[in-house]
């Protein structure tokens, strides 16, 4: 698969997502396509339970899940408008037989994000990457130290990423760090 960059356009804006039904990690990568250098990385987490979008959304009328999806729709659309990405890359759902409802919920979130991306701009590619591919790309499959976050420990060992996030990585939660890993995997996988 190839991403088409218009002639003369030397910057790529990538929106990377670690999806969840409650807290969505997001990372924005700005990349120089002439040199493949990552110019900047911004990351954070959308906490859907604490995000106050519409006080008229009552739990007595709608389920908590429905309200969170409505909040996500609003916040993600706002994010698309702010970032104007060239590509959106998202971790895909992983099926765990002991938690089938989590898979269903995550699939619903990913479908919503994909649909919102298409509504925003039909020319933006929405790509999903399996969790295993992400872990392999950042080298976290080998890390087994208990008590440490393997994704964060792996990110710290990637100089081109760590040099851009070292000032704020300790202020990020696991969702935002996972989104950084998703973006890095996309660059590694599709930059080859």
pLDDT of residue 171: 95
Q: Which residues contact 134 (CB under 8 A, 6 or more apart)?
A: 91, 178, 181, 182, 185
Q: How far apart are CA 192 and CA 140, in angstroms?
A: 20
In the sheet that 37-47 helps form, which strands lie side by side, from edge to edge? 37-47, 23-32, 11-18, 87-91, 125-129
State the pTM of this model.
Answer: 0.87
Among 16-20, 102-106, 138-142, top mean pLDDT goes to 16-20
Q: How far apart are CA 91 and CA 110, in angstroms?
A: 9
Is the CB of residue 86 less than 8 Å from the CB of residue 124?
Answer: yes
pLDDT per residue as tens digits for the range 3-29? 555 545 688 999 999 999 899 999 999
pLDDT of 142 higher than 80: no
Q: Which residues contact 124 (CB under 8 A, 6 or more apart)?
A: 85, 86, 87, 88, 117, 118
Query: Is 4 part of a structural domain of the chain?
Result: no
Range of the domain at 40: 11-190
Query: Is 3 part of a structural domain of the chain?
Result: no
Helices (H), 19-99: 64-83
Q: How far apart are CA 90 and CA 109, in angstroms?
A: 11
pLDDT of residue 54: 62
pLDDT of 126 higher than 60: yes
Query: Is 6 part of a structural domain of the chain?
Result: no
pLDDT of 55 higher than 60: no
If one counts the domains in the chain, the total is: 1
CATH, residue 49: 3.30.420.10
Query: Is 57 part of a structural domain of the chain?
Result: yes
pLDDT per residue as tens digits for the range 70-85? 889 999 999 999 999 9
Pairing of strands 37-47, 11-18: unpaired
pLDDT of 1 higher than 50: no
H helix or E strand, kind and range, residue 164: helix 159-165
Query: Is 2 part of a structural domain of the chain?
Result: no
Query: Is 154 part of a structural domain of the chain?
Result: yes
Mean residue pLDDT across the chain: 86
Query: Is 131 part of a structural domain of the chain?
Result: yes
pLDDT of residue 192: 52
Q: What percentage of the chain carries pLDDT values higher than 70?
A: 84
Query: Is 181 part of a structural domain of the chain?
Result: yes
Give the closest residue to 85 by CA, choosing from 131, 120, 109. 120
**Rg of the chain (C-alpha set):** 17
């Amino acid at each position: 698969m190839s991403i088409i960059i218009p002639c003369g356009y030397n910057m790529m804006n990538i929106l990377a997502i670690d999806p969840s039904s409650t807290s969505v990690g997001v990372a924005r990568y700005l990349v120089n396509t002439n040199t493949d250098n990552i110019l900047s990385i911004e990351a954070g987490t959308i906490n859907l339970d604490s995000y106050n979008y519409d006080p008229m959304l009552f739990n007595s009328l709608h389920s908590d899940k429905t309200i969170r999806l409505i909040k996500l729709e609003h916040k993600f659309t706002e994010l698309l408008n702010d970032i104007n990405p060239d590509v959106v890359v998202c971790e895909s759902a992983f099926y765990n037989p002991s938690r089938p409802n989590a898979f269903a919920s995550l699939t619903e979130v990913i479908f919503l994000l994909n649909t919102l991306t298409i509504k925003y701009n039909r020319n933006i590619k929405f790509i999903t990457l399996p969790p295993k591919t992400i872990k392999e790309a950042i080298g976290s499959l080998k890390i087994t130290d208990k008590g440490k976050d393997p994704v964060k420990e792996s990110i710290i060992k990637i100089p081109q990423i760590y040099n851009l996030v070292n000032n704020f990585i300790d202020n990020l939660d696991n969702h935002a760090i996972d989104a950084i890993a998703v973006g890095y995997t996309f660059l590694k996988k599709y930059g080859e």
